[in-house]
Chains A and B, each alone.
Chain A
Amino acid sequence: MSKVIKVLGTGCPKCQSMTRVVKDVISENNIDATLEKVEDIMEIMKYSVMSTPALVIDDVITIKGRIPSKDEVLELLKS
């Protein structure tokens, strides 16, 4: 089943590097997933995160406030 991945962040450098990490993991491992970048603050607040960037996989917040490593993202996407 295709996973829906969202990166929440208002567009700061940290959020961009998170998006890059996730993109790389998806393409390197041929994972069936759609990646969406959420930059609108109202939209972000629906997830009640207080530190960005945040990684949301299938509507579950998995990481917030830091940039994960590729291995960590891969692990999250597999489970």
Chain B
Amino acid sequence: MFDWIQHIADWFVYDILNLNKGQHLAEALNFFIYDTTKILILLFVIIFFMGIVNSYFPIDKVKNYLSRNKLYGLEYLMASLFGVVTPFCSCSSVPLFIGFVRGGIPLGVTFAFLITSPLVNEVAIGLFVGLFGLKTTIIYVVSGILLGTISGVILQKLKLESYLTPWVKEVLANAQKDQDTFIAEKQTLNQRLPVIWDEVLKILKGVIPYVIVGIAIGGLMHGYIPEGFFEQYMAKDNLLAVPIATLLAVPMYSNASGILPVAQVLVAKGIPLGTAIAFMMGVVGLSLPEAMLLKKVMTFKLIAIFFGVVTLCIIISGYLFNILL
């Protein structure tokens, strides 16, 4: 499917730049051009597709749907699925949280959404397909959705309402299954496209530098770290590897675009995929800046419980991956 990109990379490196095959620099450059082009194309396609889906499921519609429907437990899964198609910006997490609470959506369901939204997003999916292939991507996406769902159910069971900050409790007390007047935009796809197109370009522009730097660092590591280097430290049977990788990752704040290309090289050099995925989920899904933002609506204790439950679920899924893959 991507042979033609390889041809372009070959042509550019060997014919235009006249570098010799087998030369270290030539191979590194070839790898860089091939990888960057392939990933940017995939990112473009997936961001565009998700943009179309999202245009038909704006967040207000999602909220109204979740607050209107009793789904007998399925609402956690639905919230998690909606989290996938909604582009996430950590600065929106607080207004979103309040909006959900005000709409009478249970706390656990809101958490399910909040967990999956950053974890499984269009940029992460695009990079995953490009770097790890379709099969690993599907596993990542499905487990991300399940992780949000299960964490949401657990957090609901813990009855955490009393740990909200006072003003949010007030919002909760006045919560109603209100349907905020939301005027559904009855536009045809053709009318929507310019706006979607604009968004796609903006997102791409935002991530391109990270992708390029990430792939460049990955390319360098590729050349200098010996094959199987990490196996001695992080073998599958090393039970501490997954928790350590996850705990290291949680405070880190990087978008998926920078961290994934590096993680791919780590896997190629011997880190088990499950350990790497746990690490990536920790980086992408939870971060200190997000915790700081959430302080406006949650007490420290609630944030700690929230992060604790999600971290635990990430560690468990890391182990599962290492066993299954």
**Chain A interface residues toward B at CB < 8 A:** 9-12, 14-15, 41-42, 44-45, 48-52, 65-67, 69
Contact = CB atoms under 8 A, between A and B. Distances in A.
Contact of A10 (B91, B99, B102): B91
Contacts of B198: 66, 69
B40 to A, nearest CB: 21
Interface string B64-78: 000000000000000
A41 B91 contact: no
Interface in B283-325: 293, 296
B102 A48 contact: yes
- Chain B contact residues, majority secondary structure: helix
Interface residues of B, number: 24
A12 B174 CA distance: 29
A7 B249 CA distance: 34
B199 interface: yes
Give the most central of A15, A42, A48, A67: most B CB within 10 Å: A48
A15 B296 contact: no
Contact of A45 (B60, B89, B95): B95
B61 to A, nearest CB: 11
A42 B102 CA distance: 13
B98 interface: yes
Given A10-B94, A10-B293, A42-B167, A50 B89 contact: no
A50 B296 contact: no
A65 B92 CA distance: 8
Nearest to A49: B95
